[in-house]
Chains A and B, each alone.
Chain A
Amino acid sequence: MAEANKNIRNFCIIAHIDHGKSTLADRILEKTETVAVRDMEEQLLDNMDIERERGITIKARAVRLKYTAKNGEEYIFNLIDTPGHVDFNYEVSRSLAACEGAILVVDASQGIEAQTLANTYLAIEHDLEVVPVVNKIDLPSADPERVCSEIESVIGIPAMDAPRISAKTGLNIEDVLEKIVTDIPAPSGDTEKPLKALIFDSYYDSYKGVIIYIRVMDGTVKIGDTIKLMSTGAEFTIVEAGHMDASSLVNSGELKAGEVGYLSASIKSIGDTRVGDTVTLADNPCEEALPGYRKVNPMVYSGIYPADGAKYGDLRDALEKLQLNDASLSFEPETSIALGFGFRCGFLGLLHMEIIQERLEREYNLDLITTAPSVIYKVTLTSGETVYIDNPTNYPDTSLIQQAEEPMVKADILSPSEFVGNIMELCQERRGIFKDMQYLDDTRVTLHYELPLNEIVYDFFDALKSRTRGYASFDYELMGYSPSKLVKLDMLLNGEIVDALSFIVHIDKAYGRARKIAEKLKENIPRQLFEVPIQASIGGKIIARETVKAMRKDVLAKCYGGDITRKKKLLEKQKEGKKRMRQLGSVEVPQEAFMSVLKLDS
């Protein structure tokens, strides 16, 4: 271990949503006086509005702190924030690769949750030292002893001496800081070796260009150096190098092995700076790149269209900008007869999809229409060829299909035992295959199911929450494909298939879904000049039908003493109003109709 690094600690905090990760981060910033108390805003590290509102972290972020330990020595802490949700596992693994240790925050009353487990295992896989902390001990329902023994029995790490804290009140925060010093190892690495640094995050700054966050593994990098990004071979000259304060970048000119910091090198395109890539020096490169991250594959796809077709270019720009700091977002242009030009976007999961949509609408002020989320189906054609389908529109004709397979997930559901019946019922409805059930303690169980991904992309999480009064938590990982009786369900308006409303569904579910969607459409399509037959069909066979009756009265009866201009203006205004609807053949469909079928049970 290099002597210079012995007082550096690189760590992250992992926790289930709501267990207090961001609050703990805030307290650590405060205690180390990184932020003056007067500048304290709640959830300082979560600087996106959505993050603060939802109380979650979407993006990884890093900050450098100074701490004088009880042994009298001064330490440098690099705290790398991580998202808690399973959808953002990719981002978590990026953060973990830059750290030597992880603080595991567990709620003193709720105990271990599914996401806690998933992220802890991820940390252990990365050889991190896991430091358990029991939070919210100020709550009356807190039971830190039970939670500590749960951590020992479920995760298998010693926890009896875990700090018992209240991040909210600030109680025992010093214990956490001391644990970081004593339990988390200092980074290794050799400053004499050629530069080898890992990019774990990046974002675009309109003045400085792309800012990359790195963890230096070996060597040194300073202003004026020419760096090389190993996967692309692109070279840049360093303009700034330094570390991250709680709210700004501090250009200290140099970063050394073991340190976490940022580089700015007038990089114009985010495409050049793939997160997970290795940075080295152009004139003294290291021999091989760091392993990087496992490539993430989107699990859920959805079409995103601008409500106003003229905003297509704006949508593309917005997606490109979002992709700059969300490498897991993928998109490519697609065309829908119903919705015009838009993009097929791939997401890590449902929350990820929602977050992206919300950011597009809020940060880029776009009005969007999104199609129902779809998973990727694997279809073996009669020709023997295998195709992967992420857009129902491209689903082959039944006669060409030898075998269809759908993605399955391994789901862990943690819940108080009283809700087991409800959960089993729900999983049954969603075509789940029960694997086993374990008691975590007297009152809590974990249920293991295999579930088709397409059954959970809609509203599984909401349904689970409502059937367990919000107590159950849920996590899943993709386990592979399994053969399934799938059909493509088309919705027809006035006899014409509306491509944006087609979806793939298990044959046993097709009828129920078809009826619900037809009803929703009927509710949301206004009566108009002609009656609108709504039909659902599978392979040309109609399985559900509704009708929006024609409007009956739309007339200006009076002659207004020859005031013709007034009449004409009324008609022109009416015409203008209809432009806000999608014209499908002779049917006018408001945006709400497209949106309503996405939320069938609400």
Chain B
Amino acid sequence: MDSLGIYIHIPYCAKKCPYCDFFSESYNKKSVMHYTESVVRNLKYYSRERIVDTVYFGGGTPSLIPAECIGKIIDSVRENFILSENPEITLEVNPNTVNADKLADLYSMGVNRLSVGVQSLVTSELKTLGRTHSAEKAVETVINAEKIGFKNISCDMIIGVPNQTIESIEYTIENLCKLPVTHISSYILKIEKNTPFDNPDFISHMPDDDTVSDMYLFMVNELEKRNFMQYEVSNFAKYGFQSNHNNKYWKCHDYLGIGTSAHSCFEGKRFSVPPDIKSFNENAFQKTVITDENPCGFQEYAMLRLRLKEGIDVSKHPEIISKTPELLKAGYINFDGKKISLTPKGYLMSNSVIEYLVF
């Protein structure tokens, strides 16, 4: 059996970002302690003789909660599963929630990869995005982390922000790449339903699709120039620093999600946990809703794998091969006779391309 990834959802934020539709509530120490216990209880419930090689703390803002809570959870993983020799243990960090001491505590508890929510190094863009940290604070966080010993630091950035320009993207990339960063996730801003950004005024200020497409292609090029090679639609890494945990999502490997609104693809089923802290705390074991009884069929496999640079082997799928000439002509795919993968232009159109190929 494949090794397992564990995702822990930490549903607390100091302030909700206006573009985010992930589940979170405001921070409250008592609730956090209770929640931590519930996570530990659940880890015990799922206890197995399985190798766990990635643990990912997502949120919410996992860096908001006390380091000791993170430590307790990591310990519990170690107790209830077989934690591999060099596991990848990632924690999402909001620069405003950590100082050098806290980073050091997290490092000592076993966290060895940070995903820092930088988003932009341009002050006006951070303001537009409703982020409370400054560019300086983000830079300081990365530098401190490196000093403490973190060798695998990822930063998030966002493109498609109102008033953003090719030049401002270049500025963020250039300065981000000067830092001791190994991985960059760069997302195109998407307006999620019922978030504060989901209003006509904000949307009218967003760059149009053609502009965003130009930004995306520029960004891919700039990052690759600096040795951050694209390995997924929105993910770039220096050699050897791809996210092992996120790769499990795209490769249909097993991952177990613990906590409110966490998703799992675990031992043959996809399921999720309702976004309800009270219910999560009160139930002995987390309630789960099965979203797919039969995951990882070819369609899903192809849909996910095509997000990755390595693409899919289609040598046994003549029906897909027959669709390649048009896509090749349009410059959406690479095809070596065996494997199909998307080009950056193809990534931009990946929904349509994937639908055209396999749906």
Contact = CB atoms under 8 A, between A and B. Distances in A.
Interface stretch (B43-51, B93-101, B172-180, B349-357): B349-357
A562 B249 CA distance: 6
A97 B114 CA distance: 93
A561 B359 contact: no
Contacts of B352: 528-529, 551, 554, 574
Given A553-B212, A571-B351, A561 B270 contact: no
Interface string B219-235: 00000000000000110
B292 interface: yes
A96 B209 CA distance: 64
A561 B326 contact: no
A562 B5 CA distance: 11
B2 to A, nearest CB: 15
A565 B257 CA distance: 14
Interface string B23-58: 000000000000000000000000000000000001
A568 B350 CA distance: 13
B272 interface: yes
B190 interface: yes
B209 A552 contact: yes
A531 B249 contact: no
A528 B209 CA distance: 13
A555 interface: yes
A529 B233 contact: no
A561 B209 contact: no
Contacts of B183: none
Interface string A386-397: 000000000000
Contacts of A40: none
Contacts of B263: 560-565
B246 interface: yes
Nearest to B351: A554
A529 B190 contact: no
A553 B330 contact: no
Q: Select the residue from B263, B303, B332 with max chain A CB neighbours within 10 A.
A: B263
Contacts of B80: none
B265 A564 contact: yes
A337 interface: no
Contacts of A550: 330, 349
A1 interface: no
B113 to A, nearest CB: 16
A541 interface: no
B255 A571 contact: no
A449 B118 CA distance: 76
A418 B303 CA distance: 68
A559 interface: yes
Given A555-B188, A557-B233, A564 B249 contact: yes
Nearest to A553: B209
Contacts of A567: 303
A552 B22 CA distance: 27
Contacts, number: 104
B270 A564 contact: yes
Contacts of B264: 562
A557 B300 contact: no
Contacts of B334: none
A586 interface: yes
A435 interface: no
A555 B351 contact: yes
A553 B348 contact: yes
Given A555-B350, A575-B359, A565 B255 contact: no
Contacts of B353: 529
B295 interface: yes
A121 B120 CA distance: 82
Nearest to A558: B187
B319 interface: no
Given A551-B352, A558-B187, A565 B209 contact: no
A41 interface: no
Nearest to B158: A557
B169 to A, nearest CB: 15
Nearest to B209: A553
A561 to B, nearest CB: 5
A556 B351 contact: yes
Contact of A529 (B188, B262, B349): B349
B349 A562 contact: no
A575 B212 CA distance: 24
Contacts of A2: none
B347 interface: yes
Contacts of B348: 552-555
A586 B329 CA distance: 13
Interface in B261-317: 261-265, 270, 272, 291-292, 295, 299-300, 303-304
Contacts of B107: none
Nearest to B349: A554
B193 to A, nearest CB: 12
Given A563-B263, A564-B263, A552 B233 contact: no
Nearest to B210: A552
Contacts of A572: 359
Given A562-B257, A565-B270, A568-B303, A551 B359 contact: no
A37 interface: no
A562 B188 contact: no
B213 interface: yes
A558 B263 CA distance: 14
A571 B355 contact: yes
A571 B353 CA distance: 11
A250 interface: no
Given A529-B349, A558-B234, A564 B9 contact: no
A600 interface: no
B351 A562 contact: no
B150 interface: no
A571 B190 contact: no
Interface in A568-588: 568, 570-572, 574-575, 586
Interface in B141-158: none
Contacts of A568: 299-300, 303
A471 interface: no
Interface of B: 7, 9, 22, 58, 187-188, 190, 209-210, 212-213, 216, 233-234, 246, 248-249, 255, 257, 261-265, 270, 272, 291-292, 295, 299-300, 303-304, 326, 330, 332, 347-356, 359
Q: What are the nearest 9 A-B pairs in CB distance?
A: A552-B213, A565-B291, A553-B209, A529-B352, A557-B188, A554-B351, A562-B263, A557-B187, A562-B249
Interface of A: 528-531, 550-565, 567-568, 570-572, 574-575, 586
9 contacts: A529-B332, A553-B216, A554-B350, A557-B190, A561-B261, A562-B263, A565-B270, A571-B355, A575-B359
